[in-house]
Structure 1
Amino acid sequence: MVNFKQLIIFIVATILTIFLSLKAKNWYHNKNYSKILFEKTEISMDTIITQKQAEIFFNYKNIGNKSLKIFRIETSCGCTIPTFNTKLILPNKEDRFKVRYERVNKGFFTKELIVYSNSITSPDRLVISGFVPFD
């Protein structure tokens, strides 16, 4: 009977220890993070006649409580060129980055951008689309 009591106490203590360590980990993680929130994750450029019309901006905000940094932005094609700020974005601050589409390819297009940052949501997927008329 004594061995059974000791076994029950050991099991309860082990479960309690695991539960408390998971709670502590979640508490710490939720207290120190950056999180990027995009105003839009997909933007249609509609019909692009001039190169100026082939430039758009993705607006975003750091809704975390730690500074946000974008490390790089990869695109699905060399015709999609992002220009972004490499400085830290403080918590609750907003910023934006420009994306230019080179209109050498005619017809409909859909291009993907992957944003790598220190956000807990990274990598983030963005999409641009539009149409370049055939001359």
Structure 2
Amino acid sequence: MKKLCVTLFSAFALMSFTVKPMAGNPIVKTSTASAVAWKSEAISLGDIPQGKPKEVEFSFTNTGKSDVIITNVKASCGCTTTDYTKTPVKPGETAFVKATFNAANKGAFSKTLTVTTNADAEPKILNFKGTVI
């Protein structure tokens, strides 16, 4: 037990150190533009009727030089189902991500879709909102 505590303490102590760049040797960060150009990343649906599922569609264009593949789309809750382009999206082509929201409960809502592609290291978060009346 004592050995475990010492090991954990050592691990946490090592994680607390940070590396600071030296004045004469700056760290250069480069960013690459995404090959995925979304038409919109947020959509406001306004007022929607209760009891009627509402579909919302996001689209993007592949602005890169290689195919884009959507590998996963995850909704923020079980009240939303998703559909998306399953085939590779060639350069210059457009594709879609659809969500169908079950508008069962009255009131304001805000939902997200997490879209993972082979074009970006980080998933893209899309959102839509509105009010069920």
Q: Is TM-score (shorter-chain normalized) higher than 0.5?
A: yes
1:64-96 per-residue CA deviation (whole Å, 9 max, x = no partner) reads 111000011111111121111111000111122
For 2:116, the equivalent position in structure 1 comes to 116
- Over aligned residue pairs, what C-alpha RMSD do you find? 2.0
Distance 1:121 1:63, change over 3 A: farther
* Distance of 1:47 and 1:121 partners within structure 2: 35
Aligned positions of 1:1-20 closer than 5 A: none
Runs of 4+ in 1 over 4 A off after TM superposition: none
Within the alignment, does 1:69 sit opposite 2:63 as a pair? Answer: no
* Native 8 Å contact 1:34 1:68 kept in 2: no
Residue 37 of structure 1: how far off its partner (Å): 1.2
* Native 8 Å contact 1:34 1:118 kept in 2: no
Aligned partner of 2:103: which letter?
Answer: R
Aligned partner of 2:36: which letter?
Answer: I
Residue 118 of structure 1: how far off its partner (Å): 0.4
Residue 117 of structure 1: how far off its partner (Å): 0.7
Distance 1:68 1:34, change over 3 A: farther
Within the alignment, does 1:130 sit opposite 2:113 as a pair? Answer: no
* Distance of 2:123 and 2:67 partners within structure 1: 16
Q: Secondary structure at the match of 1:89?
A: coil
Aligned partner of 2:96: which letter?
Answer: R
Aligned partner of 1:114: which letter?
Answer: T
Sequence identity, in percent? 27
* Native 8 Å contact 1:116 1:122 kept in 2: yes
For structure 2, list consecutive stretches of 5 or more residues without a partner in the other structure. 1-29
* Distance of 1:85 and 1:92 partners within structure 2: 15
* Native 8 Å contact 1:35 1:121 kept in 2: no
TM-score by structure 2 length?
0.69
TM-score by structure 1 length?
0.68
1:22-66 per-residue CA deviation (whole Å, 9 max, x = no partner) reads xxxx8xxx7xx97211100000111111626x1111011111111
Q: Secondary structure at the match of 1:86?
A: coil
Q: Secondary structure at the match of 2:88?
A: coil
> Which structure dedicates a bigger proportion of its chain to helix?
1
Aligned partner of 2:79: which letter?
Answer: C
For 2:15, the equivalent position in structure 1 comes to none
For structure 1, list consecutive stretches of 5 or more residues without a partner in the other structure. 1-25
